[in-house]
Amino acid sequence: MEILMIFIAGILFMSATYLMLSRSVVRIILGTTVLSHGVHLLLLTMGGLKRGAPPLVGEEASAYTDPLPQALILTAIVIAFGVTALFLVLGYRSYKELGTDNMEKLRGNDGND
Amino acid sequence: MAMINFLILPILVPLITAVILIFLNKSVIAQRWVSGLSAFVTVILSALLVNKVKNDGIQTLNLSNWDAPFGITLVSDMLSALLVLTTSIVAFACIIYSFKGIGEAREKHHFYAALQFLIVGVNGAFTTGDIFNLFVFFEVMLMSSYALILLGGTNIQLRESIKYILVNVISSGLFVIAVGYLYSVVGTLNMAHIAERISEISGISQPGVISIIGIIFLIVFGLKGAIFPLYFWLPGSYYAPPAPVMAIFGALLTKVGVYSIIRTYSLFFYEDGGYVQQVIMILAILTIIAGIIGALAYWDVKKIIIYNIIVAVGVILFGVSTMNENALTGSIFYLIHDMIIKAALFLLVGLMATISGTNNLKQMGGLIKNYPGFSWTFFLAALALSGIPPLSGFVGKVLIVQGGFSSEYFIGAAIVLASSLFVLISIMKIFINGVWGEPKTYANEKSVPYKQLLIAPVILVILSICYGVGADFVYPYISQAAESLINTNIYIDAVLKE
């Protein structure tokens, strides 16, 4: 099961890299979202996919699941959500102000002040 | 028990202030008073914290009373306490400069609130003793920096922030991956506990995987701290926002990356047989060279100072990578010096650009005639930056070079030594072309509130002079900070209370 998850994470990283290397700002933003999904999946897998009872006091069981990776992912998801929201707004705003969403046209340092 | 809570105050005060400031956005005067007072209180509190750590050793706080390896622990050793103090001072100076230097439009749109949130993130990153919590504080800091770099929404800001945010999103992704790998190997997130587990593992099996994790962490923190191949985003992004924001970014954000490299490297990756150490050393030397090339190449005052950030990062990391007590003490000395003097220089250069209405050195000249106060402050700051004794850059560099030679890293130490000369050339270029020469008249110079804008850089430069002249007084604090990096058991025992 871990092997499969690793492959899925790898495919997500691959698609994210492809998207982020393109010129359109929207594709780049989508790429960052996919990247964060890959990261979260990897984090979940890294803790080990164990089957077991919830780790609560009073639960009598031979094995418990590890709650820590889930807590970490929850935090990371919230942060990624916030950053993506900001990034989308920025993409929209810069499209309106600069009149392009092509990264090729956003290069250089001319007329900067 | 009550006193131990003290170390969270430099995080809590800016946080509460930021929340209050959000509701005050209509009244600029109230915002200035609240943020100025709060920054001053933070300076006092962090000075008291430094004193407390000096007298009673490392302070720890287990949040919600969860015992050390299980909950989130905040740890203030001397290094983090000193950096928190320096951060608060730099923030205070930048806030004073912003009163006249940032413009009312930005002030009404939550500039001060974003700045306070940034201080929360930076102070938190310096204080936390938990690797995932470090990530969270990094994100707090980055989110506020996104707000600050975007605020104003000019074309160059929009264009550069896309790149800035993209780079940081990728590096945050790598950070989480690195934490995941580390967790799968050692099964804990508390930094002291990780260090303990890693030294156990290294005793049994070959620690190859630890080296790999070390390199991933180096990439993550190197992206933030602008080391050699990873600094590509910095000159463009830091160039976009106005001077006070640039000062905050240049003085604080890269230094958080450098601090994280120092912390993780001394705790986790020191025992892996020197692989990570070698990588850091080579990159540090290349960073110095790349920074110097940039600093000499440009005729744009802001670009010159920005490339000097990169030189300083290289110098500090070279001292750290020797892992020699002298050089490490020197690195910490230089780190604090650099935070103060870079903030001062960015504010001064910002003032220069405001007066002359351009960033291009070739269109400036003769500022010393009408602005002697500014010119002499700039001159002192320039000397301090390049490490002329008895100013503050000198002591740190001497110790780094001394440590480098005594550990027989001759090439690196020689390059650090030579870098001072090139830094001096690059900064004197600004002085000769901008301050000396024929006085020119500038279109908007009458409307610049010159005297008020000069207050903050003068405070910082005086502080930097005191820091250099009073090195004897400061030295015990710095060497205490270096001691807990060399002898990590002090840190580990303080956190785990064994």
A89 touches chain B (CB under 8 A): no
Q: Are the beta carbons of B146 and A32 separated by less than 8 Å?
A: no
- What is the pairing mode between strands B59-62 and B73-76? antiparallel
Residues of chain B positioned with their CB less than 8 A from the CB of A72:
132, 176, 179-180, 183
Tokens linked to B491: 């840190």
Tokens linked to B31: 């915002």
pLDDT value, residue B498: 59
pLDDT value, residue A100: 81
CB B53 within 8 A of CB B76: yes
Q: Does residue A53 sit in helix, strand or coil?
A: strand
* Block residue for tokens 């500090």: B316
Cα A12 from Cα A35, distance rounded (Å): 7
pLDDT value, residue B273: 63
Q: Which residue of A has its CA nearest to B354?
A: A113
Query: Taking each helix axis from N to C terminus, what angle separates B254-267 and B111-127, rounded to the nearest 10 degrees?
Result: 10
Q: Are the beta carbons of A90 and B158 separated by less than 8 Å?
A: yes
| Alpha carbon B346 to chain centroid, angstroms | 13
A46 touches chain B (CB under 8 A): yes
Q: Which residue of A has its CA nearest to B181?
A: A46
CB B351 within 8 A of CB B428: no
Q: What angle do CA B182, B250, B429 make, to 5 degrees?
A: 135
Q: What is the tens place of the pLDDT at every residue in B406-464?
A: 988 899 999 999 999 999 999 998 888 888 878 877 777 777 888 888 999 999 999 99
ipTM: 0.92
Closest partner residue to A90 (CB to CB) among B161, B239, B359 is B161
Q: Count of domains in chain B?
A: 1
Cα B15 from Cα B30, distance rounded (Å): 17
Mind telling me how many Å the CA of A4 is from chain B's nearest CA?
A: 17
Mind telling me how many Å the CA of B459 is from chain A's nearest CA?
A: 28
B residues 233-262 closer than 8 Å to A (CB): 236, 239-240
Tokens linked to B483: 């001691």
Residues of chain A positioned with their CB less than 8 A from the CB of B172:
79, 83
Closest partner residue to B180 (CB to CB) among A25, A35, A43 is A43
| Closest to B89 measured CA to CA, from B32, B7, B34, B10 | B10
pLDDT value, residue B205: 61
A86 touches chain B (CB under 8 A): yes
Q: Which residue of A has its CA nearest to B180?
A: A43
Number of residues assigned to chain A: 113
**Helix runs in B410-470, H state only:** 410-430, 450-469
Q: Are the beta carbons of A90 and B165 separated by less than 8 Å?
A: yes
B146 touches chain A (CB under 8 A): yes
Counting as low any pLDDT under 70, the low residues of chain A are 59, 107-113
Mind telling me how many Å the CA of A99 is from chain B's nearest CA?
A: 11
CB B279 within 8 A of CB B336: no
Counting as low any pLDDT under 70, the low residues of chain B are 1-4, 203-207, 271-273, 498
Q: Which residue of B has its CA nearest to A16?
A: B170
Mind telling me how many Å the CA of B243 is from chain A's nearest CA?
A: 13
pLDDT value, residue B206: 57
pLDDT value, residue B168: 94
Domain membership of residue B390 as a residue range: 3-496
Q: Are the beta carbons of A109 and B236 separated by less than 8 Å?
A: yes
A98 touches chain B (CB under 8 A): yes
A94 touches chain B (CB under 8 A): yes
Which string of DSSP letters, residue by residue, matches B245-276? HHHHIIIIIHHHHHHHHHHHHHHTGGGSSSHH
Q: Which residue of B has its CA nearest to A13?
A: B173
Residues of chain B positioned with their CB less than 8 A from the CB of A94:
158-159, 162
Which string of DSSP letters, residue by residue, matches B53-91? HHHH--EEEEGGG--TTTS-EEEE-HHHHHHHHHHHHHH
CB B94 within 8 A of CB B252: no
Whether cis (ω within 30° of 0) applies to the bond prior to B390 is: yes
B166 touches chain A (CB under 8 A): yes
Q: Are the beta carbons of A72 and B172 separated by less than 8 Å?
A: no
Residue A30 phi, psi dihedral angles, 5° rounding: -60, -40
Q: Which of B177, B234, B364 to mutate to test the interface with A (most CBs of A within 10 A)?
A: B177
Closest partner residue to B158 (CB to CB) among A35, A93, A109 is A93
